Amino acid sequence: MRTINKIILSDDFIDEVKKTIKPHWGELGWVTYKRTYARWIPELNRTENWSETVKRVIEGNINLDPRLKDAEITDEQYAGLVNEAQELYKLVYGLAATPSGRNLWISGTDYQDRNGDALNNCWFVAVRPQKYGDSHIVPSYLKQDQLAVSMPFSFMFDQLMKGGGVGFSVVPSNMKLMPVVDNKVDLTVLIGKESASYKESLEAGAIDRDEWKKTHSLENTRNYILPDTREGWVIGNANMIDAHFNSTNDGLDHVVLDITKIRAKGEKIKGFGGTASGPVPLIEMFFDINEVLNNTVGRKLTSVDCTDMGNLIGKTVVAGNVRRSAELALGGATDDDFITMKQDQDKLYHHRWASNNSVAVDSKFNQYAPIADSITHNGEPGIVNLELSRNYGRAIDGYQPGIDDGVEGTNPCGEISLSNGEPCNLFEVFPLIAQEQGWSLEEAFRLAARYTKRVTFSNYDWEVSRNVIQKNRRIGVSMSGIQDWILTTFGNRVVTGFETATDPETGKEIQKPIYDQRVANKFDDLYQSVVTADKEYSKELGCKASVKHTTVKPSGTVAKLAGVSEGMHFHYAGYLIQRIRFQDSDPLLPALKACGYKIEPDVYTKHTMCVEFPVRAANADDPNFASAGSVSIAEQFATQAFLQTYWSDNAVSCTITFQPEEGDQIADLMYQYRNVTKSTSLLPYTGSGFKQAPKEPINKEVYQERESEVNENVAEVFAEQTDNHDKKDIELVDQSDCAGGACPIR
């Protein structure tokens, strides 16, 4: 047995890789990387270079192998892991594959060691009274095994502040478990004059602490002095929520929260990065959530009440700038109040924008017309079929009753069906690039499976999560650039046509897709390679094989690194202007200007600049190329169903775009694929109908003209201008890890 077990990639190895492998940067790749994932290195007074980021990320992951921690590893096993780390390094450095954006940002940092949750992009929690258990956050007035209404909201608040997205369920079965709201609570928020946020906090509703104490006593109140920590924010909110219920209230209906210690707006956040929002958004949230609860005294909370509370939390987290709140609220398919809640324009603009809303259905559900009508007007709700997720992996593998029976919901982008407290765990391969760089795709996907498996051995903060992760060991090996790869490798799209058929259950005529069987066989081969790799590694580690293994994530930021189409989505257009927003102090701007990119002030946000990048899609001139603006809604539904059949045993995230004249097809297509598709969302194709749109379709001639104006390499110019001593802690603007902008930036 070895005595020193930490694996570190040598400088000699990395130098050799840099000589032999060239990263496959997309047209936006290096700029996207530098502004999003390059961490600050204090001792070098600059941000990371790509080789350093990949080294950090791979070392952070490979050392999660539990045999290294327990010193129960042979020399042979250790050598195998060193070799695996080197292969992963080459795979990721060349941009033939990448871990999730979350791993690119967190893996290998001290923050990973302190908060193992942070390696996972997204989570799911059921909104019903739950136990905190042996978690890092347990309010002092509660026992670990005591049911509390606050728990799911605390879980949500905590994960959102760590940068994760959260799906939450307010379906009728959960709402039935909510107790009656017993007490109206008098809420007082105090602040001392020593706080740098004193004046603005008073304006937001706080009261001078010392003046208040002259006429009031803390006796007979539930009082809590919030420490300047994430946990303090969560416990302060829990105190206020639980005071409304007799089971978690000791008879005191006056809650006093002291926010004096909370750091001021603009101060640095050392752990996750970025700058603080100050206490004002928190004060507003306390009063808003308390009002929701006070208005429900004498009855149970509804799906709308609970979604409002979740949205108010999300709104507060967004104010923390680097953390983009991503929420998905899952309600009942016949819950009209939930389905129509965003029609209240005042509340929509105040906080209900903070979640994408979907409804839970099963294969017997057939009332798609009202849902389709709502989608054509506002793009919501999406649909999530929990029955399929519980009883099916890939559709081709048939009915497997209870294979994933704990599933209650999904992450915000819908690619992973999840149990209560469970996270996504993602890694994606870019098969076209991997192929071009000489990788065996089976080997690339084997490495991906092992990477994600190790993430399940992180130090998770919440007991509910530790329990479900140990039970399921769920992984999500994905791929992006799917449309690019299929068209380049097989010469056509996966759907080669449609034939008229009869729905066996309804007798209705449908248009059944015709798939290229060569593509189906290849996807099946790659799926089997992931499953085999998981079984083998699980046996090595002495843990359970993963309940499910594969997915298609929507991608977005990560896909931009390599310049491939996002997840299963078709390129937005063959040629387009991609606009990315930067703080006006971002050190990349002078380099971009020197290289000839068009830069102008953002018309929507102060202190923000909008940079235009001309982009050409892979295969843009191929006669079989299709874009989101030209591919039919029917082909998109069929493509998602194909991937759910032959590749993904979790789910397939897809935001189907439709033209106005296709709106009347939505209900029928949802029903046609009811036995295959686990989750679907739709949005109208917008083209470029507003100023400085993120993506604006252009023709080839305009692209060539704009491309000819770009005359330098941004990375080289940036290095010359800054001598690699660039600024740190630049705030990120308008960036997401997903194609639809739903998931967190990192």
In this predicted structure, what is the pLDDT of residue 322? 42
Question: What digits encode the pLDDT tens for the residues 10-50?
Answer: 999 999 999 999 999 998 899 999 988 999 999 999 999 99
Across residues 530-546, what is the average pLDDT? 97
In this predicted structure, what is the pLDDT of residue 70? 74
Question: What digits encode the pLDDT tens for the residues 478-529?
Answer: 999 999 999 999 999 999 999 999 988 888 899 999 999 999 999 999 999 9
239 and 257 Cβ atoms separated by less than 8 Å: yes
275 and 321 Cβ atoms separated by less than 8 Å: yes
Question: What digits encode the pLDDT tens for the residues 457-483?
Answer: 999 999 999 999 999 999 999 999 999
Across residues 55-71, what is the average pLDDT? 93
* Residue 300: partners with Cβ closer than 8 Å, 6 or more residues away: 175, 178, 179, 180, 181
- State the Cα–Cα distance between residues 647 and 527, nearest whole angstrom: 6
Across residues 284-311, what is the average pLDDT? 98
Residue of 476, 480, 349 whose CA lies nearest to 410 = 476
In this predicted structure, what is the pLDDT of residue 492? 95
In this predicted structure, what is the pLDDT of residue 273? 55
In this predicted structure, what is the pLDDT of residue 604? 82
Residue of 553, 549, 567, 568 whose CA lies nearest to 397 = 549
- Cβ-in-10-Å burial (0-12, 13-18, 19+) of 101 comes to buried
- State the Cα–Cα distance between residues 74 and 269, nearest whole angstrom: 41
136 and 461 Cβ atoms separated by less than 8 Å: yes
Would you place residue 77 in the very low, low, confident or very high pLDDT band (cuts 50, 70, 90)?
very high
* Residue 236: partners with Cβ closer than 8 Å, 6 or more residues away: 224, 226, 257, 259, 282, 286
Query: Which runs of consecutive H residues, i.e. helices, occur in 146-208?
Result: 150-161, 172-175, 198-203
What residue has token string 């001593």? 725
In this predicted structure, what is the pLDDT of residue 433? 97
Query: Is the pLDDT score of 740 beyond 70?
Result: no
How many C-alpha atoms does 362 have within 13 Å on its Cβ side? Answer: 5
In this predicted structure, what is the pLDDT of residue 627? 92
Q: Give a three-class secondary structure readout of 246-307.
A: HHHCCCCCEEEEECCCCCCCCCECCCCCCECCCCHHHHHHHHHHHHHHHCCECCECCHHHHH
Amino acid letter, residue 25? W
- State the Cα–Cα distance between residues 552 and 644, nearest whole angstrom: 9
Helix (H, G, I), strand (E, B) or coil at 148: strand
Catalytic residues: 413, 415
What residue has token string 């709201």? 181
Q: Which two tokens stand for residue 298?
A: 């004498």
Query: Is the pLDDT score of 697 beyond 80?
Result: yes
Query: Is the pLDDT score of 154 beyond 90?
Result: yes
Q: Which two tokens stand for residue 653?
A: 């995230």
In this predicted structure, what is the pLDDT of residue 38? 94
In this predicted structure, what is the pLDDT of residue 739? 44
In this predicted structure, what is the pLDDT of residue 272? 54
Q: Average pLDDT of the chain?
A: 91
Q: Which of 238-247, 320-329, 343-352 has the lowest mean pLDDT?
A: 320-329
- State the Cα–Cα distance between residues 427 and 100, nearest whole angstrom: 5
More confidently predicted of 631 and 729: 631
Q: Which of 96-100, 187-191, 581-585, 740-744 has the lowest mean pLDDT?
A: 740-744
Would you place residue 325 in the very low, low, confident or very high pLDDT band (cuts 50, 70, 90)?
low
24 and 563 Cβ atoms separated by less than 8 Å: yes
522 and 66 Cβ atoms separated by less than 8 Å: no
Would you place residue 121 in the very low, low, confident or very high pLDDT band (cuts 50, 70, 90)?
confident
In this predicted structure, what is the pLDDT of residue 728? 46
In this predicted structure, what is the pLDDT of residue 459? 92
Would you place residue 729 in the very low, low, confident or very high pLDDT band (cuts 50, 70, 90)?
very low
Query: Is the pLDDT score of 291 beyond 70?
Result: yes
Percentage of the chain exceeding pLDDT 90: 78
In this predicted structure, what is the pLDDT of residue 506? 85
More confidently predicted of 271 and 612: 612
Q: Which residues of 531-549 are buried (b: 16+ CB within 10 A; e: fewer)?
A: bebbeebbeebeeeebbbb
